[in-house]
């Protein structure tokens, strides 16, 4: 398994990851939020020589989704999101694009796969498990690659902090319940978050103030 981060020039835009099953060459782009960073994304995809099968979205906020339309158009990849957040891909108010004056950059996108808790997706033989982790949004999910001990955590869990719950659909209680799901996983995991630097689950068990006070 190859996991690469796309070089994005804007700190406010989410981390975008490309994951590739080396044997099959099948790949997924996770949270492409930068509408004008297609060149960086496409160059990385080309350098990896992979076929983009999925666009995996951890939730529907604009900073994770503005790049979806262009990638879907170029590669024909299937757009994957939880049903609770699917409407955000067509509604600039729900995606918060309107509040951030970028409504003109969001183009409606068809959802191909609506995932729920416990679902699995595959890149070749590599399984990607879905954990529904509401709290930041109702439809937030984490993608778990057990074979790599890796969690793509979106805006649920960050290095030494957690996702905001003051947006529409947010809930502190639901976020705490979602974090408990992640903490219940056995062993350590690499955490690839939606913003800021990567971390590990063991590190967050010890250092994350929000988790320690739950």
Across the chain, which has 214 residues, the per-10-residue mean pLDDT values are 89 89 98 82 95 99 96 97 98 95 94 99 99 99 99 99 98 99 98 97 98 94
**Residues of the domain holding 149:** 2-212
Q: What is the model's pTM?
A: 0.97
Total structural domains within the chain: 1
> For residues 192 and 174, what is the distance between their CA atoms, to the nearest angstrom?
21
- The sign of the torsion formed by the CA atoms of 78, 79, 80, 86 equals negative
Q: What's the pLDDT at 23?
A: 98
Residue whose tokens read 């902090």: 161
Q: What's the pLDDT at 39?
A: 81
Q: What is the CATH number of the domain that holds 189?
A: 3.60.15.10
> For residues 179 and 211, what is the distance between their CA atoms, to the nearest angstrom?
8
Q: What's the pLDDT at 11?
A: 65
Count the helix, strand and coil residues of the chain and give each as a percent rounded to the nearest 5. Answer: 30, 25, 45
């Amino acid at each position: 398994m190859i996991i690469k981060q796309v070089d994005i020039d804007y700190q406010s835009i989410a981390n975008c990851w490309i994951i590739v099953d080396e044997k099959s060459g099948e790949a997924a782009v996770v949270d492409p939020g930068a509408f004008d960073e297609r060149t960086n994304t496409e160059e990385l995809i080309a350098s990896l020589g992979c076929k983009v099968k999925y666009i995996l979205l951890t939730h529907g906020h604009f900073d994770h989704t503005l790049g979806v339309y262009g990638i879907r158009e170029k590669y024909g990849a299937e757009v994957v999101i939880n049903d609770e957040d699917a409407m955000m891909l067509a509604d600039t108010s729900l995606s918060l694009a309107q509040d951030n004056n970028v409504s003109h950059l969001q183009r409606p996108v068809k959802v191909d796969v609506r995932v729920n808790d416990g679902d699995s997706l595959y890149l070749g033989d590599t399984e990607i498990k879905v954990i529904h982790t509401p709290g930041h949004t109702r439809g937030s999910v984490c993608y778990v690659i057990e074979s790599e001990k890796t969690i793509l955590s979106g805006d649920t869990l960050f290095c030494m902090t957690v996702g905001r719950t003051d947006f529409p659909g947010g809930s502190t209680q639901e976020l705490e319940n979602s974090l408990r799901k992640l903490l219940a996983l056995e062993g350590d995991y690499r955490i690839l978050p939606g913003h800021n630097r990567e971390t590990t689950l063991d590190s967050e068990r010890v250092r994350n103030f929000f988790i320690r006070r739950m």
